[in-house]
Structure formats: structure tokens, C-alpha cells
Amino acid sequence: MTALLALAITSLVGCGSADTTRIVGVQRTPAIEVGAVSLPEVTNSDTGSPFNFWADSGSLLVVYFGFTNCPDLCPTTLADLRTARKRIGSTADIVDLALITVDPVRDTAEVLRSYAGSFATRFHVLRTTDLHALATVETAFLASSSVTTLADGTVSVSHTASAYVVDSTGRVLVEWPFGIGAKGMENDLRILIKQLKESTS
């Protein structure tokens, strides 16, 4: 994320209450379409079944690429999402989380379930050791990741740090760069939830 984008986000959500009049995350034109790709979901089974990237009808899906040994970006982003959902209240019950591990060797299904459960009550955990399949999904989101084992045995992981809000058609409504914070997420979710309720009423 560029310093200019970080400054813009800070100026929009850094103080005061949420705006609730305009989206502060990134909205692309045309929007990214991700409904055609899938990964194995291991929320309830270690073997997994295909999970397509669209929200349930009447819901929103927040997608995040990360890993459980992440020291900073992942726990910060997921904690911000947890805080945002709590601030919104019961209407946030329509917001699901899909957590995709970019470090499947260390992130077993059991580890992922425990990790995701510490940040959300509604979640899907996705895991594949097929790196081509993972890369295909990342490409659809315009994301990327890499895992490198150094000579001393240390594992180095890099990944796109954005979160994505997806609707029931598989369209990315907004991207949240790292640093948007709980206030930015709350702001955008309030707007998107209102729009969703108006469109289904």
C-alpha cells in the first residue's frame, strides 16, 4: 500500500464516528468477479468440499488470504473485522468470513478452525496444498502470496494484505487495504448492509 493511499485512508477513518455516507475502501470499475473460482472448505471436514466465492443470498462474504503464524497483518485485520462487526450489532450477523491459508503445510484444518473461531462466529476456512489452485484463486482476486524456507529453516511468508467484501453474485463490492481499521470496515459494512436490505425489501 502506498503512503498516499495510507494517508487518505487515515484521513477518512482516523477520528470521529464512522462516516456512513460513502465507502472508504477501494471500489474497482469494473468490479472484480470471483464467483467462478473455488477452493476446498475444511470448516467441518479435513478433506473438504468445493467452496465458491459468493455470499449466501441476503449476506455478505469477507474474504481474506492469510496464515495462522502471521505476526501482524493477519491478526490485526481479523481483529479489526471482529471489532467492526461488534459495533454494528445484530445486523452484522449476515456477514460471513472466508479465511484462506497461504501456508497450507503448517496450517492444518484443525489449526485453521481454531484460529478463525477466535475472530468470528460465522466463518469458512479454506485450505489446499495444490499451489496452482491457490494461485488461480489469488489471481481472480488480483492477490498473490509466496512461502520460502530459508537456509536456517525459518519460513518466510508474504501475501497480499487486503480483505475483500463479496456479494451473492461473486462480485467484489469493496477491497480493504491493510490499515483501513475497524472504523473503516464498520463504515463500509453499514453502507453495504443497508444497500443489501434495501435491494431485498
Residue pLDDT, tens place only, 157-192: 999 999 999 999 999 999 999 999 999 999 999 999
Residue percentage of the chain with pLDDT more than 90: 85
Query: In the predicted model, is pLDDT for residue 8 greater than 70?
Result: no
| DSSP-assigned letters across all residues of 31-52 | PPB-TT-EEEE-SS-SS-EEEE
**Of the candidates 190, 57, 39, 196, which has an alpha carbon nearest to the alpha carbon of residue 124?**
39
Domains held by the chain: number: 1
Task: For residue 70, tell me if it sits in a domain.
Answer: yes
Task: For residue 120, tell me if it sits in a domain.
Answer: yes
Which one-letter DSSP state was computed for residue 170?
S
Model pTM score: 0.89
All 3 cell numbers of residue 75? 491478526
> What CATH number corresponds to the domain at position 173?
3.40.30.10
Task: For residue 11, tell me if it sits in a domain.
Answer: no
Query: In the predicted model, is pLDDT for residue 6 greater than 60?
Result: no
Task: For residue 17, tell me if it sits in a domain.
Answer: no
Neighbours of 16 (CB within 10 A): 7
Residue 32 amino acid letter: I
Range of the domain at 74: 26-200
